[in-house]
């Protein structure tokens, strides 16, 4: 703030400014409060953070830097919390004195512009980082980590939209409930790691055999659920039969390329009707899948 400033010209204005000691972890500014001062850091260190628990500072301010200059310009409540990261000392410059300093010194006015531009650039950087984190969190919130398929939460949010769109466009919509046969026995005999590999292999095979516009989710455990917009039940049964056969013929190998036992799947197929809601459509597919199980597994039923 005072780079290249002739101190002899501003000392009369600074002479009445107080110096304050700030203890480690003491809060200097609270988000939402009105702040009428600029604080020049004489010693110590301050964290700027968005939550009152002082976690994850968005920036750290050191001796020579200032705090609170934006508040005296826009007269808005503080947007962040500022707390001491160690015992610190600050020079308190109230709003009236600060404007007098700006008016009396071209260098201070110029330095203030530099400080504000740095704040803006840093703010943009923080916003971009937050956007990236939000995308990452959104991905983890809607994608199953093991199979890389969409998860149940995603299905709960998306299925009704897909059904409404197909209703509106007068398109058919069929679904498949897919279950790996005797999966508990598979895990018991080969280990849960082998079971994870088998589940991933089945998931990726399903993706390869369905269209890009088809939507596949991990419904729960070893159950998978697929939405096939634009396909009636007859076409979907044909696709399901091809998929059932493909899974049976798919080789499963561990991380060392050693063969693991193959698996089979049972598939229940249902088609949306004008009166269906998401729960009813899932229930219809689930009933058809259990019909396939009771018929001896490794079958497709509707």
Distance, in Å, from the CA atom of 198 to the CA atom of 186, rounded to the nearest integer, reads: 9
Full strand arrangement of the beta sheet holding 300-301: 215-220, 223-229, 173-180, 265-271, 300-301
Residue 22 region by backbone torsions, left for phi larger than 0, else alpha for psi between -120 and 50, else beta: beta
Please list, in sequence order, all residues whose beta carbon lies within 8 angstroms of the beta carbon of residue 39, skipping any fewer than 6 positions away: 28, 66, 67, 68, 90, 91, 92, 93
For β-strands 265-271 and 173-180, DSSP reports them as antiparallel
Strand partners, 89: 21, 43
Other Cβ atoms less than 10 A from the Cβ of 47: the count is 20
**Ramachandran region of residue 292, left (φ > 0), alpha (ψ -120 to 50) or beta?**
alpha
222 is annotated as an active-site residue: yes
Q: CA-to-CA distance for 208 and 299, rounded, in angstroms?
A: 20
Catalytic residue among 96, 222, 241, 283: 222
Distance of CA 234 to the CA centre of its chain: 39
In DSSP terms, 18 is beta-bridged to 92
Residues with active-site annotation: 222
């Amino acid at each position: 703030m005072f780079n290249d400033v002739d101190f002899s010209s501003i000392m009369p204005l600074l002479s009445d400014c107080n110096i304050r000691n700030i203890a480690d972890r003491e809060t200097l500014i609270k988000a939402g409060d009105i702040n009428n001062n600029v604080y020049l850091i004489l010693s110590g260190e301050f964290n700027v953070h968005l939550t009152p628990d002082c976690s994850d500072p968005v920036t750290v301010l050191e001796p020579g830097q200032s705090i609170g200059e934006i508040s005296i310009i826009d007269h808005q409540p503080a947007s962040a919390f500022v707390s001491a990261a160690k015992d610190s000392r600050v020079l308190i410059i109230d709003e009236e004195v600060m404007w007098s300093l700006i008016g009396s010194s071209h260098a201070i006015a110029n330095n203030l512009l530099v400080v504000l531009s740095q704040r803006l650039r840093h703010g943009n950087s923080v916003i971009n980082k937050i956007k990236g984190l939000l995308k990452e969190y959104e991905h983890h919130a809607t994608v199953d980590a093991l199979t890389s398929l969409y998860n149940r939460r995603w299905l709960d949010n998306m299925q009704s939209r897909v059904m409404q769109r197909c209703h509106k466009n007068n398109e058919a919509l069929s679904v498949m409930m897919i279950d790996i046969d005797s999966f508990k026995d598979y895990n018991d005999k080969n280990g849960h790691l082998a079971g994870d590999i088998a589940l991933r292999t089945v998931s990726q095979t399903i993706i390869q055999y369905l269209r890009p516009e088809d939507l596949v989710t991990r419904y729960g455990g070893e159950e998978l659920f697929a939405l096939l917009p634009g396909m009636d039940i007859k076409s979907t049964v044909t696709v399901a039969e091809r998929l059932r056969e493909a899974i049976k013929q798919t080789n499963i190998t561990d991380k060392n390329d050693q063969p693991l036992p193959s698996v089979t799947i049972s598939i229940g197929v249902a088609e949306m009707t004008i009166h269906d809601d998401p729960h009813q459509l899932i229930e219809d597919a689930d009933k058809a899948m259990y019909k396939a199980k009771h018929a001896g597994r490794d079958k497709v039923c509707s």
